[in-house]
Every structure is written in C-alpha cells, then in structure tokens.
Amino acid sequence: MTSLAVPATLEAASKSSVGIPPIFGPRIIIGLVGVLLAVLVSGLNDMVTKLALADIRGALAIGYDEGTWLVASYTATSVAAMAFAPWCSVTFSLRRFTLCAISLFTVLGVLSPFAPNYESLLLMRTLQGLAGGALPPMLMTVALRFLPANLKLYGLAGYALTATFGPGLGTPLAGLWTEYLSWRWTFWQIIAPSLLAMVAVAYGLPQDPLRLERLKQFNWRGLLLGFPAICMLVIGILQGNRLDWFESSLIGWLLGGGLLLLVLFLVNEWSQPVPFFKLQMLGIRNLSFALLTLAGVLVVLLAVIIIPSSYLAQVQGYRPIQTAPVMLLMAVPQLIALPLVAALCNLRWVDCRWVLGIGLSLLALSCIGGSQLTSAWIRDDFYGLQLLQIFGQPMAVLPLLMLATGSISPQEGPFASAWFNTVKGLAAVIATGVLDALTTVRLHFHSTVLVDNLGNSPLADSNSAGLAHRLHQQAVVLTSSDLYLCMAGIALALILLIFWLPTRIYPPRAPT
C-alpha cells in the first residue's frame, strides 16, 4: 500500500532552498498551528456573518435580497479559490502565498464595517472569500509535507477540525457578538487570531524559492473556464431556493451556464500537461469513494447544526446565544475526540473502514433519535443527540482523509489536495441547497395537510392569528423530523458503500 506521502514538487522546492528537507520540531508545529488557526478563522467568518446577517442588514440598512448576495458571493469565490490555490502555493512558495492570503483576508475584514455603500461591501466580501478559500488547501499540504509518517494522521485530524469543530462555533460566536458587543465584531473577530496565525506561519514554515518559470506553463484556459463555472454553480445553488429555482431565468442561466463551463473545464483538464485537476485520479477507488462519501457526510454534518438551531428559533423562540450550549457540546469535545480517533486509526491492526462504518452508524442513530422530536422539546432534549455526534463526526471524517491521501503517489499530492478541498467546498454548498429545498417542500406539504385536517373546525374561527402560529410551529416540527430521517437514510446508504468500494489502507507507520 502507498503511505501518506509528501507532494514531490513541494519537497523538491524545499530541498533547493535549504539544501536538506526541513527538520521536524517545535518550529514546524507552530507553523502548522498557525495555518490551522487561519483556516478555522476563515470558516468562522463565513458562518458567523451568515448567522448574524439580520443584525448586519439592520445596521447597514440592507434588504434581505441584498444580504443573500453577500453570503453567496463570499462562498462562491471561496470555493473557487480552493481549486487553484495548490498551484499558486507551489509557484509563489507555500509560506509566502499563505501569508499573503491571510493578510488580504484580515485587511478586508477590518474594512468591511466601514464600507460606504452596499456595492463596496459586496466587492470586499467577494475578495475576502477569495483569500479565505485559498487557506484550507494549505493546511492539508503542510500536514502532509512536514509531519513525520507516524504523525501525519494527527495533522489530518487538524484538517478535520474544519469540518467538525469550526462549524459548531458559528452559532455561539454570532450570539456573543450580537448580544453583548456589536455587529461590527462579526467582521472584526478575525483580527486577533489572524495576526497570531501570520506570526506563527512566518516563524514556523520554511521559505521555499519562487518558481516563476511555472507561469510559462500556466493553464489559462482552465482558469478562465473553471473559475466562473464554480462561481456560477455556487451562486445558482445558494440563490435557487429564494428565487424558486428554474422558475427564475437567472437561476437557469447560472446553473446551465455553470454546468456547460464545468464540462468544458473538465475536457480541458483531461488533455492539459499541467492541469489543476487530474481527472485520471478518479480511477483510484479509494479516492473516488472518499470524495463521494465526503459529500454525503457533509450534508449530514450541516443538517445536525441547522435543524436544531432552526427548530429552537422558530418553535421555542431561542436567540443564537441560547442555542449556543447545544452547539458547544458537539464542537468543543472535538479537540479531544479527533486526536483519539487519529490514534485509533494509526494502529496497524485497526481497519479505518470499520472506524468509518461506526462513525456513520453513530450519525444515523443520532438522526433517528432526532426524528422523534415534538413541539415540547427544548434545548436540553438535544444534548443526548449531540453526545453521539462527538465521536460520530470525527470517526466519519478522518478515515475519509486517510483513504483519500493513502492511495496516491507523491507526484499526485497537489492534485489530491485540489480534488478534496474543492469537493468539500462544493459539497457544503450543495448540502445548503438540498436542505433549503427539502425544508421548503416539506414545510409546504405539512402546512397544507394540517390546514386540510383542520377543515371547518370551530377552532378555525377563534383567534385565527394564534392558530396560524401554532400550525406553523407544528409544520416546523414535522419538517424537522422528516429532515432528520432523510439524514439518517443518507448515513445508512453511505455505510452500504463501504462493503464494495474502498480497499484496506494501512497507516503510514504504526506507533511502536
């Protein structure tokens, strides 16, 4: 079996700059922590500003529709940047490119609350998404390049934090800033950790030489096709539910044009000598399985955050700060659970496919339990479900990273990073679109059924406003139950794939 490997191009660059490969030590660890901090902050910036959007819109006198474009533009450029950042990090050096991305990300965050008008704020958010999206691929590259073989899984566990730990902090932080400080802190929260990350990266990561000769082989056609394709698809998906999908000519143009450009982009990549995406790698069973399963897992992980938050807000009237304990119970223990799961997968006698199966089973069990919710549930009733998520999430994510990176050759490392991060970003967007569409469809269905069942009851004529409110609450409860059942079905379906798609992968080196 091929062990987790360092991208050869990056390793060669390092050797040429210092003469010998970087020696692992505290300095490298500090650099890795700096990149991890920057990636977590980038994800939190997206989550917190999205959750606090109502306060931001109120302060800046921005309408609801305009607010959705702030979210969509940030996400679109963020996902698109993940596809092309690995090539840039090799060309301009990993350390230099990472520092530039963090710097631009921080400066735009500082300036955003002072935007003179909506258009300038939209431009700043779009550019900030571009800078923030360039960071996640750097984290995977640093973990695979600099960590010793028996510690690589712990580096990947740090990357997994961006899918398990980071999203759970969005609600608590949004509640903290909007309730106790100011809406401006939803933008400014990034300043201190970003500056700390820059210091850690500047100190800890070795400096590679510039490789500007790669610009002569730059895949311009791929960039001109792929970047707008990804942006159009992301915006079309995020705006689709609001504009009633294909009933809107704009959504039809975005999704249709985006798919056409994406097909042309993939055709171009197949024949390019230096592509951004190496399509031939999809023939590797474990990588294809990991990418497919990752998309499904991210749908479930996003749902277990959105469903309880939405239910508590609409049925029980909770503010984000009141929902925070539910999210924190799931997020904070990840700091312990992920290293434990990494240690488990690092044992040679442990098959990571079984770990993945157990993790998906815990997610399915949690969702089945959630499907039993009623209008009487309060915050405390979700704690048991979140406890299952504590180990279910890392056990579902980390084995996928191991399967994806453990079956590739050293030369394919940068391509695997581009594949994994781009699919991760697109999967999160698709998950949002799917959940929005399912919520709308089931909410309309249950509302119609409840009204039909009410019929000509005498209750229909008394306190109609209060009755309408109760009907909406009950429709939300039934919709939340349906969504939980859908997520359980996705998790169970992914378990079935384990039996025939992935092959056994051993850790890089078992601990002695």
Tell me how far apart the alpha carbons of residues 269 and 277 are, in angstroms, rounded to a whole number. 6
Q: Rounded to an integer, what distance in angstroms lies between the CA atom of residue 477 and that of residue 375?
A: 6
Residue numbers of the domain that contains 296: 8-207+276-498
What pLDDT score was predicted for residue 6? 39
Is residue 365 domain-resident?
yes
C-alpha pair distances (Å), 104 with each of 185, 195, 279, 418, 492:
18, 11, 31, 21, 42
Per-residue model confidence (pLDDT) at position 464: 59
Burial string for 334-366 (b: 16+ CB within 10 Å, else e) reads beebbbebbebbbeeebbbbebbbbbbbbbbeb
pTM (two decimals):
0.85
* Residue partners of 365: CB distance under 8 A and separation at least 6: 388, 392, 488
Nearest Cα residue to 355 out of 139, 153, 142, 141: 153
* Least confident piece of the model among 49-53, 403-407, 466-470, 493-497: 466-470
Complete DSSP assignment for 415-454: HHHHHHHHHHHHHHHHHHHHHHHHHHHHHHHHHHHHHHHH
The pLDDT score that the predictor gives to residue 18 is: 37
Q: In which band, very low, low, confident or very high, does the pLDDT at 367 lie, cut at 50, 70 and 90?
A: very high
Mapping DSSP to helix (H, G, I), strand (E, B) and coil, where does residue 316 land?
Answer: coil
CA distances, 187 to each of 25, 75, 105, 112, 190 (Å): 34, 15, 11, 7, 7
Is residue 214 included in any domain, yes or no? no
Q: What is the DSSP string of 216-273?
A: GG--HHHHHHHHHHHHHHHHHHHHHTTTTGGGSHHHHHHHHHHHHHHHHHHHHHHH-S
Asked if 170 and 48 count as a contact pair (C-beta separation under 8 A), the reply is yes
Whether residue 211 is predicted with pLDDT greater than 90 in this model: the reply is no
Of 186-200, 252-266, 269-283, 286-300, least confident by mean pLDDT is: 269-283
Helix (H, G, I), strand (E, B) or coil at 77: helix
Of 423, 418, 425, 424, the closest CA to residue 77 belongs to: 425
Q: What's residue 123's pLDDT?
A: 93
246 part of a folded domain: no
pLDDT band at 3 (very low <50, low <70, confident <90, very high): very low
Q: What is the Cα–Cα distance from 77 to 119, expressed in whole angstroms?
A: 16
User: Residue 455 has what pLDDT?
Assistant: 63
**Residue 419 pLDDT > 80:** yes
131-145 pLDDT, tens digit each: 999 998 888 888 878
Q: What is the three-state SS of 66-97?
A: HHHHHHHHHHHHHHHHHHHHHHHHHHHCHHHH
Query: Token pair of 364, please?
Result: 């399915």
pLDDT band at 127 (very low <50, low <70, confident <90, very high): very high
Higher per-residue confidence, 510 vs 108: 108
Tokens in use for 302? Answer: 């996003």
Weakest-pLDDT range from 30-39, 115-124, 269-278: 269-278
Across the range 454-466, mean pLDDT stands at 59
pLDDT of residue 462: 54
Res 16: pLDDT: 39
* Cβ neighbours of residue 66 closer than 8 Å, sequence gap 6 or more: 57, 118
Assess if residue 236 is contained within a domain: no
Q: Look at the chain and report how many structural domains it folds into.
A: 1
Chain CA centroid to CA 464, Å: 42
Domain holding 335: CATH number?
Answer: 1.20.1250.20
* Both tokens assigned to 222: 């791929």
Any domain includes 84: yes
**What number of H helices and E strands is found in the chain?**
20, 0
Q: What is the pLDDT of residue 247?
A: 85
> What mean pLDDT value characterizes the chain?
83
- Copy the structure tokens of residue 392: 């279910």
Per-residue pLDDT of 43-71, as tens digits, reads 888 878 777 787 788 888 888 888 889 88
Of all residues in the chain, the percent with pLDDT exceeding 90 is: 26
In a domain, 269, yes or no: no
Q: Residue 257: inside a domain, yes or no?
A: no
Quick one: average pLDDT of 438-450? 86
Dihedral sign from CA coordinates of 247, 251, 256, 257: positive
Token digits of residue 304? 């277990």
Burial class (CB in 10 A: 0-12, 13-18, 19+), 466: exposed
147: pLDDT strictly greater than 90:
no
- 494 token code pair: 């992914």
Residue 153 has what DSSP assignment?
Answer: H
Statement: residue 362 has pLDDT above 80: yes
pLDDT in tens, 370-406: 989 888 888 888 888 888 888 899 999 999 888 888 7
Tokens linked to 461 = 């004529």
Q: What is the largest CA-CA distance in the chain?
A: 86
pLDDT reading at 151 higher than 60:
yes
Tokens in use for 44? 């939190």
> Residue 218 phi/psi, 5° resolution?
-65, 135
Is residue 473 included in any domain, yes or no? Answer: yes
Q: How far is Cα 4 from Cα 413, in angstroms, rounded to an integer?
A: 9
pLDDT of the residue at 461: 53
DSSP state of 135: S
pLDDT of residue 332: 84
Average pLDDT, integer, range 17-43: 78
Q: What is the DSSP letter of 280?
A: G
